[in-house]
Copies of this chain bind each other. A is one copy, B any other.
């Protein structure tokens, strides 16, 4: 009841959020007023007071642009108290793999990443590997992405896998035909790799996820 906003208040709150997103800092009363074609800052102030009272904003007194959005309007609170119980599983992140070295040696380690077990129903030996190269762009795996790899998991036809061919680590689609193994890139620029007896071939694991950061 108390938290209910009027139409105008919603508009104001909405505009403040957009302003911050666009500018990186909050607007002044006058800027808000002028955006709505208002002539006086007093009305705006009353709206802010209302929004503050209802818990959507914090406003420092006697300070300029000192509006901050309250988490309440976003997330946290509701989840925090809903007693969400879940374990997280930590997996190591592996960067560029030095040719010849075991993938999971310390020198390749770059950090850890933890993922909620609800989303992660695989075995505990998983790790994440930083992809270099664009041979899988059509599968939505870009240079620099982290692929999450589950070793000792059954690999089926057409799965995306991480494999080692003669000390070279690659991410490709897996295909087996008449006892021959093919590693298929998802980019016209590259040719499929045919694995022969002469190659030192090792199926590292199955790619079960992809994680990418925009920086």
Which residues on A are within 8 Å of B, measured CB to CB? 14, 17-18, 20-26, 28, 58, 63-69, 71, 73-76, 78-79, 82, 84, 86, 88, 90-93, 102, 104-106, 109, 111-116, 118-119, 124-125, 127, 137, 140-142, 145, 151-155, 159-161, 176, 200-203, 205-215
**Chain B hits for A203, CB < 8 A:** 17-18, 21-22
Check if A25 sits within 8 Å of B210, measured CB to CB: no
- Min CB gap A139→B, angstroms: 9
A93 to B64, CA, bound (A): 35
Distance in angstroms from A169 CB to nearest chain B CB is 14
Q: A207 to chain B: which residues have CB within 8 Å?
A: 214
Chain B residue contacts of A24, Cβ below 8 A: 26, 58, 67-69, 154
Instruction: State the majority secondary structure of interface residues on A.
Output: mixed
**Cα–Cα distance between A200 and B7 once the two chains are bound (Å):** 12
Determine if A75 and B88 form an interchain contact, defined as CB atoms under 8 angstroms apart. no
Expressed in whole angstroms, the minimum distance between the Cβ of A115 and any Cβ of chain B is 6
Chain B residues lying within 8 Å of A79, measured Cβ to Cβ, are: 92, 106, 109, 112
Q: Which residues of B contact A104 (CB under 8 A)?
A: 74-75, 78
In the complex the two chains form, what is the Cα distance from A201 to B209 in whole Å?
Answer: 33
Q: Across the interface, do A214 and B209 meet the contact criterion of CB distance under 8 Å?
A: yes
Residues in B whose Cβ lies below 8 Å from that of A141: 140
Contact of A206 among B21, B114, B140 (CB under 8 A): B21
B212 touches A210 (CB 8 A): yes
Q: In the complex, how many angstroms separate the beta carbon of A204 from the nearest chain B beta carbon? A: 8
Bound complex: CA of A65 vs CA of B64, how far in Å?
Answer: 7
List the 9 closest A-B pairs by CB distance, nearest first: A24-B68, A24-B154, A64-B64, A88-B114, A114-B114, A21-B203, A65-B65, A210-B212, A111-B118
